[in-house]
Chains A and B, each alone.
Chain A
Amino acid sequence: MQLLVQTLNGLTLAGIMFLVSSGFTLVFGVMRVANLAHGAFYLLGGYIAFSTVQVIGNFFLGVLVAAVTTAVLGLVLERTLINRIRGNVMAEVLLTLGLVFVIDDVALAIWGGDPLSLKLPGLLAESSTLPGSHLVYPNARLLILGVAVLVGLGLYYLLRRTRVGAIVRAGVDDREMVGAMGINVRLVFTAVFALGALLAGMGGALGATVLTLGPGSDATILTFALVTVIVGGLGSFEGAVLGSLIVGLLSNYGEAYFPSLAHFALFAPLVVVLLIRPQGVLGRTTA
């Protein structure tokens, strides 16, 4: 019984991590940019959803507005800033790190530093008794799990079954070749960066319902996302799915059954993977 609850907890945490880390890994895979501002997009998404819900009162609209706003922000930042320093790894790291500070401080000025949480409407704020047991489980977490699965399927379809996906995957493998085929790589970069920001913003809006939102939440979630993509394999979409599951479940079992090793449980898979398979479980060794 306890095991079932902890498994569900792990899966829902994996859901949030998947939303965040899939965006991160896409951007890295295609653009080779380790976007450290990804966590800040998550934070911003959560805050924007919070304010939208306060003003309009519709939760789903809040998630939508958050996702679209962060996507637009991602688009603008890619076109105006990241674009200029393409290929210069050091500058990219510094720039995205600088963006973290700017976004964090702007958020602090607008929303203050008190912990916020997003209130869910009606039935979603309740909890259900799972069929065939006496387990009470919050609907919000089931929603997150459902959304993560849907987004996962959507991304899978986009990447594996469409022409856009083929271009993106080709971009991961060999950017020069894609350019040589007459495809506008710049456009692909911008689109992927915006998509990554969109996923982070949506993750923030949904995550804010079960995790609190405040200064520092971005760093927490970025840590999770980094561990997830390193375990799964940098740049690999399937890796993000697998990494989220491994990290989400392990860190939850760790917290529940070996509380004094909880922190270790998060980083243990990272250490093991780096020792045995440094490119990640599903990562490839192409440079």
Chain B
Amino acid sequence: MPRIERRLRVGLAVTAALVVAATSACASKAGGSTSDPIKVAHPLPLTGVYAANGKDLQSGFEIGLKEFGSEVNGRKIEVTFADTQGDPATALTTVRKLIQDGAQVVQGPMATNEIAAVAPLLAQNGIPVNDLGLCSAAQLDSWAKTGNGFTSGYSCDQTALVAAEWAYNEMKWRHITLPALDYSWGWATAGGFKSAFEKLGGKIDKEIWIPNTAADLSSYVTQIPKDTDAVFAAVAGAFSVKFINAYKSFGLTGKIPVFGVTPLIDGSILPTMDPAATEGVYAGAQYCDGIDTPENKKFVETYHAANKRYPGYYAEAAYVRAQVLVSALKARNGDASDHKAMAKAMKQVTINAPRGPVSISDKSFSPIQNIYICQVKMVNGELRSIPIKTYEKVPPQGNVLDYATWEKNFKRYTQARP
């Protein structure tokens, strides 16, 4: 025991020394400089479960800065990528530190709960923030109050609202089974889908709630009624792979059509998926890699050269955030010191992103943009996600619901099951 204690003490001393060295290095960086760089903070998960997505965000943002310029009016854009480990508590400490270090603009963290955790802190300090998505009432409330934040990504249920419209009007499906992840993102997605689909006159046969700790999806997939018209799967990340594999192995592929939203068939997971199980799956998406715009061709080419695969929505969302940032900075002649003016400039940006034209709604502070119905197809021996229908300039509330109903639903479904 004493030996271990001694080792522990040595370890502590070394850690303490490192911390002191690191903070003093930061301090000397913060002061003294005369060239006044634009300080951009980008908290994101670089270790832990979400590390791969975090690296995708970093890659997309860096490609974006390279494309649109890492210097505005002689001022360098200085980006600090800081690890949040995908954990809300760590994200909060990371962002607090970034603010202390003088961050002028923040590109919000990644996981829904991280974003919600840091939203009030950023609002208190009035720091302009562009989040990855709008998935919590905490964001909507604090942005409405202080006007510091928005997202150039998507509002959580925008894609689901369009998927419902497409399923009812184009595919003529009337009975849908709804497996969904049992936490805020899944609630919002399933809730949005359900409210639009039922308003149109469709019926939800069954809701199946999948806890985000589930290791095995077989018990959920086998609950799908055999006579349902189609399955809308509100799942993401590793659960997309699990769900689609289980769907195939229980003989449902090819019998009951399956569709979902962006992360179900995202470019980041397609290379590892089983073609026989995945080909033909649909998703309502703000981005899929086969979108036919000149901006997307260029982006896909650059991303593919750097990462040896096709981009997913995380990479594109980060690229678009760089595009928004640089456009706003150009409009402000490189001056990011005035928080209010900078936030306003960012929200007023309209751009042609890889996913198409994007502008920011002044009610929900999230994008008015094209939503695509994408389908997985085999192109030259690789699985790609290709748009088969485009809904142009969709507002955050979709085309079926009015804004007031949407806002009421959104605030409810991000906090509890629909």
Contact = CB atoms under 8 A, between A and B. Distances in A.
Interface string A114-127: 11110100000101
Contacts of A255: 211, 214, 219-220
Contacts of A90: 4
Contacts, number: 105
B215 A114 contact: no
Given A114-B52, A212-B238, A127 B249 contact: yes
Interface in A240-265: 252, 255-256, 259-260, 262-263
Interface in A102-131: 105, 108, 112-117, 119, 125, 127
B219 A113 contact: no
B249 A138 contact: yes
B257 interface: no
A117 B269 CA distance: 11
Contacts of B218: 9, 12-13, 141, 210, 252
A8 B51 CA distance: 35
B274 A5 contact: no
A194 to B, nearest CB: 26
B222 A112 contact: no
A211 interface: yes
A252 B223 CA distance: 12
Contacts of B241: 115-117, 212
A90 B5 CA distance: 12
Contacts of A108: 47, 51
Interface string A223-241: 0100000000000000000
Given A9-B216, A91-B4, A115 B272 contact: yes
Contacts of A6: 219, 222
B68 interface: no
Given A127-B250, A212-B238, A105 B219 contact: no
Interface in B14-51: 47-51
A216 interface: yes
Contacts of B240: 115
Contact of B242 (A5, A112, A211): A211
Interface in B239-289: 240-242, 245-246, 249-251, 268-269, 271-274, 276
Contacts of B222: 2, 5-6, 9, 256
B110 to A, nearest CB: 12
B208 interface: yes
Contacts of A116: 241, 272
A113 B53 contact: yes
Contacts of B4: 88, 90-91
A262 B250 contact: no
A238 B211 CA distance: 30
A263 B213 contact: yes
Given A90-B4, A117-B274, A137 B250 contact: yes
A148 interface: no
B294 interface: no
B173 interface: no
- On chain A, which size bracket covers the interface? 35 or more
A206 to B, nearest CB: 13
Contacts of A212: 238, 241-242, 245
A262 B211 contact: yes
Interface string B208-231: 110101111011101100000000
A220 B213 CA distance: 8
A214 interface: yes
B215 A117 contact: no
A127 to B, nearest CB: 5
- Which of A5, A140, A221 gathers most chain B CB within 10 Å? A5
Contacts of B268: 114
Interface in A78-103: 88, 90-91
Contacts of B271: 114
A146 B269 CA distance: 30
A215 interface: yes
Contacts of B276: 125
27 contacts: A6-B219, A9-B222, A108-B51, A114-B269, A115-B240, A115-B269, A115-B272, A116-B241, A116-B272, A117-B242, A117-B274, A125-B276, A127-B249, A127-B250, A138-B250, A141-B218, A141-B249, A212-B242, A217-B215, A220-B215, A252-B219, A255-B214, A255-B219, A256-B222, A256-B223, A259-B209, A263-B213
Interface of A: 2, 5-6, 9-10, 12-13, 88, 90-91, 105, 108, 112-117, 119, 125, 127, 136-138, 140-141, 210-212, 214-217, 220-221, 224, 252, 255-256, 259-260, 262-263
Given A125-B276, A127-B251, A211-B215, 7 more contacts: A2-B222, A114-B272, A115-B241, A117-B273, A215-B51, A252-B216, A252-B218
Which 6 pairs, one residue from A and one from B, show the smallest C-beta to C-beta distance?
A113-B52, A138-B249, A136-B251, A115-B238, A255-B219, A9-B218
Interface of B: 4, 47-53, 55, 208-209, 211, 213-216, 218-220, 222-223, 237-238, 240-242, 245-246, 249-251, 268-269, 271-274, 276
